[in-house]
Structure 1
Amino acid sequence: MALKLQFTQQGLAACLDAQSKGLKAEITHMAFGDAAYNPSQNQTQLNNERERIEINDWQDGGQNMRMAGVFDGELEYAIREIGIFLSDGTLLGVYSQSGKTLGYRTPAVKVIQWFTLNLSALPTNSVTVVVGAENLNLVLDAEFIAAAASFLNTGAAIIKNAHWNMQLSERIRTMEGSL
């Protein structure tokens, strides 16, 4: 069974308020918690929030927005609830289900959480995503650059070794020719 985001009354009110002012409510954070339950539209916070992070990346897909964040650090717990928050701290919506574990958070593993937010239940053009200071693309790019540098260094060492072998072969051939 797929989990559906339960939008909160306060979250919907914030979207309507922003839209009436010609603005968009800004989604800025997501949070993990370890309580499993059936979310309510009257919620104002997660039942047992463990950590909250900035959104690090997003993609606009029309009626669906994909967002991602990176959870890393020393915490360890079962992920049973995910909250989506607006810039003013308002809980827009919650993913959770009674008795269901969504994942597990350990200090040894960096969790990159992607989720898709279906916007059909929200007023048209009432939300946007504001990416935090550390964009996920930059995090992934740094990792790719480090791997590419390692690959290039290995390639340079192989070429240097091949050149040395060619020089050695040439010396041996020269020595054999002079005998």
Structure 2
Amino acid sequence: MSTALQPQITKAGLAAIWNATSTGLSAEISHIGLGSAGYTPNADQKTLRSQVVKYPISGGEKLSSTLIHLTAVADDSAAFWVREVGFFLSDGTLLAVWSHATEALTYKAANTELLLAYDLCLEALPADSVTISSTAAGLNLTLAEPLASQATVMITEMLRGVKQQDSLESQEKRLQVAGLQIADLLTRMKQSELQLELQRTESLIAIAANAAAVIKLQNLVVTTSGSFK
């Protein structure tokens, strides 16, 4: 992600651009300087007030005639709050300065690769009067290792997610099978209950029939005995 900056163009920077354009050339931005002082920049500045580090431009592109995108890689042992940023031409001239009296731009940690990315607005300069001098190959080599590490982490997370999804699908299938088995068991239990109920009913009917037969037989015996008398 880029940080949009609208810096103060210095008088020295304007003079360098005028000298370059008067000979049919363009001034080249080649370095970014970072410092720890916070203040309101002015056009008379020729240096940063408290410069700590200075890095070559690693890459960049023109977004419009007055807007350029710059990147650089900070990978040294310096550690400080970045409160001023300077943009230097290839001849060492301070072209532009950004700073804030109370707010820091970012924190530069020691021995940690930090990609500096700035969108630099140069509306105060003639259109197309500035070009970018970069070492794009250096940027690619510097970022290769962290990008590879990030890709490895992303692939690992994706594989873990796939495995988890496979596990969930497997569990879902097992639950479906268990559900069918339970449904079948309940059906058979219901059928067994109906069968038992039918058998109980048939048994009661048989008992009642037997009782009726016994009573009928007893009545018959009693009637027969009475006839002999």
TM-score, normalized by the shorter chain, greater than 0.5: yes
Question: Does residue 78 of the first structure (1) align with residue 76 of the second (2)?
Answer: no
1:96-107 → structure 2 map (5 Å cutoff): 96-107=99-110
Q: C-alpha separation between the residues in 2 aligned to 1:65 and 1:97?
A: 21
* Closer, same or farther: CA 96–135 of 1 in aligned 2, 3 Å: same
Q: Hey, what does 2:55 align to over in structure 1?
A: 53
Deviation at 1:61, TM superposition (A): 0.8
1:64-143 → structure 2 map (5 Å cutoff): 64-132=67-135, 134-143=137-146
Q: Which amino acid aligns with 1:87?
A: S
Q: Which has the higher helix share?
A: 2
Q: Hey, what does 2:46 align to over in structure 1?
A: 44
Asked if the contact 1:16–1:123 (Cα under 8 Å) also holds between the matched residues in 2, the reply is no
RCO higher in structure (CA 8 A, sep ≥6): 1
Question: Does residue 8 of the first structure (1) align with residue 31 of the second (2)?
Answer: no
Q: Please, which runs of 5 or more residues in structure 1 have no aligned partner?
A: 156-179
**In terms of mean alpha carbon deviation, does 126-135 or 110-119 score higher?**
126-135
Asked if the contact 2:41–2:97 (Cα under 8 Å) also holds between the matched residues in 1, the reply is yes
Q: Which amino acid aligns with 2:75?
A: D
Deviation at 1:93, TM superposition (A): 0.5
Identical positions, percent: 36
Deviation at 1:149, TM superposition (A): 8.3
Aligned-CA RMSD value: 2.3
* Closer, same or farther: CA 110–145 of 1 in aligned 2, 3 Å: closer
Q: Deviations over 1:148-170 (max 9, x none)?
A: 6897xxx9xxxxxxxxxxxxxxx
Q: Which amino acid aligns with 1:106?
A: A
Asked if the contact 2:6–2:120 (Cα under 8 Å) also holds between the matched residues in 1, the reply is no
Q: Hey, what does 2:206 align to over in structure 1?
A: none
Q: Secondary structure at the match of 1:135?
A: helix
Q: Which has the higher strand share?
A: 1
Q: Deviations over 1:8-66 (max 9, x none)?
A: 00001111110010000010000100000000000000000000010001021113100
Q: Deviations over 1:77-102 (max 9, x none)?
A: 11100000001110000110112111
Q: Which amino acid aligns with 2:140?
A: N
| TM-score when normalising by structure 2 | 0.60
| TM-score when normalising by structure 1 | 0.76
